[in-house]
Amino acid sequence: MSEPDSEFINILNAGTGGDTAFLRAGAKPLPDELPILGLSDIVLFPGMVAPLLVESAQSIKLIDDVVGGDRFVGLVLQTKPEVQEPKPDELWSHGCAGRVLKMLKFPDNTVRILVEGLRRFQVKEFVAQEPYLRAKIALLEDLAEDSVELAALARNASQLFQQIISLSPALSDQVKVTSLSQESPAKLADLIAANLNLDLQERQRHLEITSVKERLGRLLPLLQRELEVLTLGTKIQKEVTTSMSKSQRDFFLREQIRAIQRELGETDTATADANALREALDKAQLPPDARKIADKELERLQQTPPAVAEYSITRNYLDWLANLPWSKSTEDKLDLDEAARLLDEQHYGLKKVKDRLIEFLAVIKLKRQLKGPILCLVGPPGVGKTSLGKSVAEALGRKFARISLGGMRD
């Protein structure tokens, strides 16, 4: 039977009917010796209430004894999170004294507890390791001197934290209300540290600091950085959402236009252009490498809306590719005497140039499989560069094509 001032909490058990336990909630002072429970993935701060999962047999034994006694327990972060039953040298030197509020036992032999952080402490020495760790502790007081600087630090930290809460979906309205109503700089600092996105080592360092001014001073740059990250993330998310919304709207509109055109027996511009260009490319008989590039550009054209400037650029490029004489050729007439006659007939002088052209044609005639060098005729306008090229083309029986460089002409 419980005492009149006891708090009644039902403890679930795998057995039939369940068991009931009574947790005494008398306001007793913290002892100078506590059972120590190692934490693998959380740092508990004073004033913080957190659920914990207990799995190892040693820790479950500890919780059973704590629940049957004064409910006080020392909660210390492990240096090696993967260890189930840590040794004294695998724990940090500072922790938080807590009180077990509730305990639930589950059929899989695990225990879930709800603990409330009470006071910071430093481990003086471990006095027992069996059946679980026990240690003598020294409770730590918050060093908070009333000053204008401390008030300014607390106000700045609170304002930054409010902005973070408004941007972060992970923080509840309850945290916002609690932080707004918090008048103690020490409790405000712990509240921020408990809810800010910090790694375990940074949280542990915050727990070990007794100076409230130093705690707030360390938090300010962390708060500023978190605010910048959240602000940038929100901006990026808005831009992505806007871009996606516009793209989706354009897609649906294009699909509606295509559906209407299909009903009317019409074909949309993009599809018509793509079909016409594909037919022209087929007729042009491009080499495999060139056709691979053309097909890639054709696919890009089909995915580009006609209203976009890139559409016309890609279309003109494909049209140019299709109009190149890929499969057209002429048979060379390598008659050196006829070539010399044409050059002499159409050009007076220029002996060195004409001799070089005849020499060039002679090499081609002798070595048909050998790719000859590219001849470059240099000279001011009007000396006969273009007409010499026409004469060579006529001598070979080839078509003459004039391609200006960068749009420049003589």
Q: How far apart are CA 193 and CA 7, in angstroms?
A: 31
> Residue 117 — pLDDT band, cuts 50, 70, 90?
very high
407: left (phi over 0), alpha (psi -120 to 50) or beta: left
- For residue 25, the model assigns a pLDDT of 39
For residues 203-214, give the mean pLDDT.
91
For residues 288-317, give the mean pLDDT.
81
For residues 16-23, give the mean pLDDT.
34
pLDDT in tens, 120-150: 999 999 998 889 999 999 999 988 777 888 8
pLDDT in tens, 151-199: 899 889 888 888 888 888 788 778 878 877 778 889 989 998 988 888 8
- For residue 15, the model assigns a pLDDT of 34
| CB contact at 8 A, 103 and 122 | no
C-alpha distances in angstroms, 98 versus 30, 169, 215, 329? 9, 29, 21, 92
| CB contact at 8 A, 4 and 10 | no
| CB contact at 8 A, 125 and 135 | yes
* Alpha-carbon dihedral sign for residues 389, 394, 396, 397: positive
> Residue 94 — pLDDT band, cuts 50, 70, 90?
very high
Residue 236 pLDDT exceeds 90: no
pLDDT in tens, 336-380: 777 777 766 666 677 777 777 777 777 777 776 666 567 777 777
For residues 265-281, give the mean pLDDT.
72
Residue 1 pLDDT exceeds 70: no
Q: Which two tokens stand for residue 399?
A: 């078509």
The answer, yes or no, to whether the previous bond of 221 is cis (omega within 30 of 0) is no
- For residue 114, the model assigns a pLDDT of 93
As a whole number, the mean pLDDT across the chain is 78
Residue 250 pLDDT exceeds 80: no
Output 10 or 25, whichever has higher pLDDT. Answer: 25
Output 282 or 96, whichever has higher pLDDT. Answer: 96
Q: What is the dihedral of CA 305, 309, 313, 315, to 10 degrees?
A: 30
- For residue 73, the model assigns a pLDDT of 93
- For residue 169, the model assigns a pLDDT of 76
